[in-house]
Each structure stands twice: as C-alpha cells, then as structure tokens.
Structure 1
C-alpha cells in the first residue's frame, strides 16, 4: 500500500466515529480492512487500538502499543515472536522521522477510553520510543510508546532536586536540557563520547544529551548524571533508535551487524550505571 498520508484526513476531525471496519477503511482514516497498523518499512500512518493484544496499555493521551504479528485473533493471545518488519518497522521509522500516527480506538479496548461500539478517530500521536520485551504470554514482542500531540509528555521524577522542564512545540515532548545534561556536555567539552566529534555553530558548540534508560513511562529512567551520555547527533539517533548499543565494558556494538564498532570514552569524573546500560541493551537485544 503506497502513497502514505500522514496527519489529518479532510472531512474526518477528531471524534469522528465509524460503525465498522468497512466504513473506517472507506474514509481512509485507517485504510486496511484488517490489521491494526497501516504501514510498511517506509512508515506507518495509522493504528487501531481495540484490545486485540493483551500487552497493550492505554492511558488516554499516552499508549503503550503492541506491534503486529504472532497473535491468535480468536484468543487474543500471543503464540509466536514478533519481528521488526512490516508495520512494526513502519512505527519505528515514524520515531526516527517524526511523522505522526492517526490513532483509532475500537470497541473492545480499555473501557475508560474506547467507544462502546464501532470505531472512533482520537487524533494524532507521535512515536517517542520503541523496544523489544517479553510479553505476558512469554513471546518476544515489539512495544511502541505513543504520546498525543495535544498533550505534553509527563515529567519523570528526578534523583536530585527539580524536574525536567516542559515547553510547547508542534510536537510537544520533554526538553532534554536539564542542568545535569548541560553538566555532562561540559565535562566532555561537547565532544561525542563515541566518535569525539565536536560540532561548532555560530551560537557555540552543540551536542545531544542521551538518556541511557529513557525518561517517562514505562521505562521511568532517572534524570541523573549516571544516566546521561554526551553524543553527536548521528550517534544520538543511532543510540535512541536502537542502531547501536553499549556493553558492560563500554563497548559500542552495531545492532544489525552484531559486532563491536568502538568504545565509549568516559571521563574520570563521570560514570554510567551498569543497570541503565543493561536495561537499554535489553530493549533492542
């Protein structure tokens, strides 16, 4: 199915309802007659949340969504492992490119947020994280954290005083510019801990603060200095999207090739907690 359409569909505002999948497909809000993800490896434009997977968690403005595959539709139980292909790969691609996803809820989902009958379009969400996990039925699944574009991402608790600030944006999210993040960048003089690259801009040096154990639900990583790396934009994206991971002895591994490609440089006055590294590695193992 080619020709992706991201964003709103003209004539169908948030709250539009559909009595069945045929009417939903005809509207193009969610085009497949079957399947929870409209997408492929190039990206995903819409999903349906309707209680078809036991590992789904719906919080209203935030959804922990289970990827497609390995599910017995009659029992709604997982019977096989999932792969990062098809619609799952599409949702992961959305995280990298920032394209929004239309979320449709169907009867059968969480009673607090789902319609009693049929389907309802509930707006645009952004994919902010994805990882592998062991599902409730014992099979490996892909999980995706989606946050509504109309809501600010929740601030996590900090190990030290204060909280990560929020600012409004076209796609609202936590601002990873806390005092601790700046401190880590200063320790490394804004040089990437993996490739030693330092980017100079007219406004001064630039680097990204990468949280090893991600902030926010369901990971609940701390905003603490032992959970932050200083990375260049390239290695930040690779690390955030699971293209690379870091081992116990700070080895950097290429996820796809399964081989070591470098080592994380660590200053004497900075360290990363092994528990955070192990947690991050488990998300894409």
Structure 2
C-alpha cells in the first residue's frame, strides 16, 4: 500500500474488510501491526488497535492517553511491535490508531498519534510497557480532522520519567559495513535512495535487549538484516540452527531451508541463536 493514497476519516467506523481494502493488507489480530509503505520499503508505519473488551482497559478518551503494549502472558518484552512503538518516541513514524467498542464489529479510526513516552509498569503482577500517546492534528483538503473528531478531549500534559537502553551504535554500524549492508538471511542490499550508493540495513539483537531477556549489546549477539527479515525475527517467524545456520521460516519459502551467511570475522554466539529459537520463535 502507498501511504500517499490512504484516505481515512477520523471518527468514521470501518469493518475489517474495509480496512483490508484501504491498506491493501489483512489484519493480523495483533494490537500493534508493523507495515511498510510501497513507495519506500524503508518507511515503516504502525497500526494500533484497542478494544473496550481488551485485557488492559486502555484509556483512549483524551487527546493524550495511555496504551499498553502487546503480550498477554508473563512479563512483556521490548520486542516486535513494542520495540517499534518505543523507538517511535525518538524516531517518529506514521501511527494509525483504531478503537472498537465492546460488542461492536467496526473499528473507529481515531486519527494518527505520536509516542511521547514508554514506561515499564506493574499490571496484575506482571511488567508491561505503557505508552503515552498524543493525538496528531490531521488536515487535508482544508478540513481540520481534530474538528471532525470533536468528541475527543483537548490535549493535556503530564510529566513522565522514561528509561531507555543506550545502544552501541558505532558497533552496529561497523558490522553493517563489513557485510556491505547485505541481509544475512536473503542477501538483499537496500539503498537509501535512487541513485545513492549508501546502503541501508538494520542491526538485530538475537537475544533481545531489556527485560526479561537481558541480551548483551555485543557483536556476538548481532545480525545484519533487511527491514523485512528484521521484522520476521522480532515476530518469531524465523529460526536459525545454531550449528548448521540452516534457516527455518514459518511462511517464506524463498529463505526456508537456506543457510544464514556469517562472515569468518563475525563471531556470532550460538547460544544466542539457541535462546531465540526457544524463547522468541513461535512456529
């Protein structure tokens, strides 16, 4: 789907089939969905879904409100959609927010939101990630979208304390350069723009950082991946045999059964691959 072609009316209700047609993609059923703009595969966007019947009783009534991340069993982890939503606090991206009332089948589009903070809080004896979201003013063709959703309260401000993990960016950048920005799974190299020589890749921590995984920010725990396979690792749809590096993928036949490329000077620790297969992979 091309984000430039997307037209949604804040305050309007959409059935699942209408959203599938508008976004040209199905709904996964996750609270946080990671998507990509067809105009630029580097451009991510998120879809957030909240329901009155959901497990976390998200308060979505104000211009600024809270939203609990995904993961209903045990302590939540800063992986998958939680990680992308947390990163959006410092690197904003389009985030489309939908809410559904109890007993209703349609989703109300409540506009785009920005992430102001991500906090670890206790909820029912578990540790979860609580995001502070702020509604974004949307204007198109002279129509003020805040006015179109006039039943929403005016924004309020709260003081929050945020804790985040400081990553060793030079370490990851150096590893990407050694791989010439090529994905270790598929070998694909992305570029930062038409006619540009600079490559683009993403560094993935095989054993995730943060609680409860507490993986190290070390080269032995890093992979260089394209955006698609980075998302697959986060969602647990790919696993790698620690000894043979044989790839198992839940649905992508193009890489299932292939071998992860690991340079001789990249001391990838097999223990972290084993941890990913046991604790993150979900197929």
TM category, shorter: 0.3 to 0.5
* TM-score, normalisation: structure 1: 0.47
